[in-house]
Amino acid sequence: MNNTFNINRFGKLLAYDGRKYIRNFGITLAILCGLNLVLWLLTLIFGFTMPTLPRYGVIWIAMFLGIIMVPAKAFGDINLPREGVQYAILPVSNLEKYLSYLFFCLLTPIIIVFGSWAFDSLLTLLPLGGFEHYIRHFGFGSLMTDFFAELGEMAGEDMSGREIFDQTFMDFFGPSYSYAIILSLIFNIGLFMFGNLLFKTHKTGKTLAVTIGLSYILSMIMQVILLANGGALFLNPENVDIATIGTLTNRTLFASNILHTILTIGLYIGLFFKLKTQKY
């Protein structure tokens, strides 16, 4: 049964883990979804309109906090001496345990994004505060266009953002950039899931320290990739135009995404074998 999958058995495990998820992480999840209440209260106290960009930023922060907290808070007992043994003897396969663990940790940032957006939209409907516009876009370019348009409304000028974020610049934030952001989120979710299995105490703090170290190493690799793709052109910036920068950025992102994809696949394979061979 170690590596088999049965849909009925898996459904029961999801229900079991779901109850534990709500019991251990439900209140924290609700708080994270409601963080924009702080910004809304500030508009009441100081009487100003809050643009969508800071509200979006708070949602992003809430999502990141959820990613780093959920493995330890909802599943922090699965490698402990006593509680971990109870988890180990559950009548389900290692594959089913892995998929359930994966499901709830990957679901958390999705719940926070949509939950935060729904709560933010509810606050926008209220007549008292300074949320005058819904958060209509989550893509970087469209979000910035909305932000400049809102600044223009407050200043009584036309600052729609189209002149600032022209098509060439927007190309920097196309599919490769979006893929890089999503991949980075999935990679970080896997890191904190792995850290939850690796460490028995101070799980989140230790994993965060490892993540910072890995980020530094990856940034060094990124610099090498950038130079290999023509980054030396910036030594003579007078010869570099916006099209050259766009081409260099896209080539670097493409190479970086390939490396990041390989690391992410390796991480999740390692996560499965770590869960499968967990010692108590």
Does one domain contain both 128 and 11?
A: yes
Is 10 or 151 the better-scoring residue by pLDDT? 10
User: In the predicted model, is pLDDT for residue 157 greater than 70?
Assistant: no
Residue 87 domain-assigned? yes
- Tell me which of 166 and 228 has the higher pLDDT: 228
Same domain, 85 and 6: yes
pLDDT number for residue 171: 56
Reading phi first (left if > 0) and then psi (alpha if -120 to 50, else beta), residue 230 is in: left
Is the same domain home to 38 and 122?
A: yes
pLDDT of 38 over the 70 cut: yes
Considering 55-69, 133-147, 173-187, the range whose residues carry the highest mean pLDDT is 55-69
Q: How many structural domains are present in the chain?
A: 2
Whether 49 is covered by a domain: the verdict is: yes
Asked, for residue 153, whether it belongs to a domain, the answer is: no
Q: Tell me what pLDDT residue 173 has.
A: 59
- Contact call for residues 106 and 189 (beta carbons, < 8 A): yes
167 within some domain: no
- Is residue 195, in this structure, part of any structural domain at all? yes
Regarding pTM above 0.75, the answer is yes
* CB proximity list for 110: less than 8 A, separation 6 or greater: none
Same domain, 192 and 127: no
128 in a structural domain: yes
Domain of 54? 1-134
Domain closes at, from 112, 134, 156 = 134
* Rounded Cα distance, 256 and 140, in Å: 19
Distance CA 247, CA 274 (A): 40
When the pLDDT of each residue in the chain is averaged and rounded to a whole number, the result is: 84
Same domain, 122 and 180: no
Determine, yes or no, domain membership for 280. yes
